[in-house]
């Protein structure tokens, strides 16, 4: 099965399931579905940052400060957060990511309910080659400096903006 064939729950503006569709169809038609964003920090508190591969269905070759992805049909946000974090970081035995907040992302023909998490990853990472073209752990100052220099995924930038607001309250 290719990523485009993965079945997703399609949701309404209240995050209630109203149907299902293959990922490729959901993307092509702009159908609202669910995604998870996990901020992964190493033992030193640095953030895992990566550049997506050019083969990604959405936002290829862009930088992201979150690991994550779509929530499969029938899967909970929490289940997807742990699965996606372990897959993208290339680890097993990661602590369960801590849920922080949810928001509705809408932009550039895409819309999804987004659940934002944080997790500490003290394991050596071996990022998933199909997902991650480059990676590094950056301290907060370096990440902030790169925001204006690198081409970032727009949904990740929105999640990052909201995360900063969430933490400043």
Residue 102 has which token pair? 């949810």
What does each C-alpha distance from 100 to 20, 117, 119, 159, 167 come to in angstroms? 26, 5, 11, 11, 10
Q: Looking at per-residue confidence, does 85 or 4 come out higher?
A: 85
Mean pLDDT confidence for 134-155:
96
In 65-162, the DSSP E strands lie at: 67-70, 98-107, 110-120, 132-138
SS3 33: strand
Residues with Cβ within 8 Å of residue 57, at least 6 apart in sequence: 3, 4, 23, 24, 27
* Contact criterion met (CB below 8 Å) for 53 and 69: no
SS3 77: helix
pLDDT tens profile 93-118:
999 999 999 999 998 788 999 999 99
Identify the pLDDT of residue 3: 75
Q: Helix H segments across the chain?
A: 23-29, 77-89, 140-146, 154-168
The pTM for the full model equals 0.94
Percent of the chain with pLDDT over 90: 87
């Amino acid at each position: 099965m290719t990523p485009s064939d993965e079945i997703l729950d399609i949701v309404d503006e209240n995050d209630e399931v109203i149907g299902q569709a293959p990922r490729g169809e959901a993307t092509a038609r702009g159908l609202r579905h669910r995604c998870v964003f996990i901020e992964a920090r190493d033992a030193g508190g640095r953030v895992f940052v990566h550049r997506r591969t050019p083969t990604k269905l959405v936002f290829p070759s862009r930088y992201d400060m979150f690991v994550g992805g779509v929530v499969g049909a029938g899967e909970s946000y929490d289940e997807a957060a742990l699965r996606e974090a372990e897959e993208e970081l290339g680890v097993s035995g990661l602590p369960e990511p801590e849920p922080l907040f949810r928001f509705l992302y809408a932009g550039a023909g895409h819309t999804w309910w987004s659940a934002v998490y944080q997790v500490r990853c003290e394991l050596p990472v071996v990022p998933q080659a199909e997902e991650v073209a480059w990676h590094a752990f950056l301290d907060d100052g370096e990440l902030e400096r790169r925001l204006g220099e690198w081409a970032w995924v727009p949904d990740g930038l929105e999640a990052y903006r909201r995360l900063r607001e969430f933490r400043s309250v």
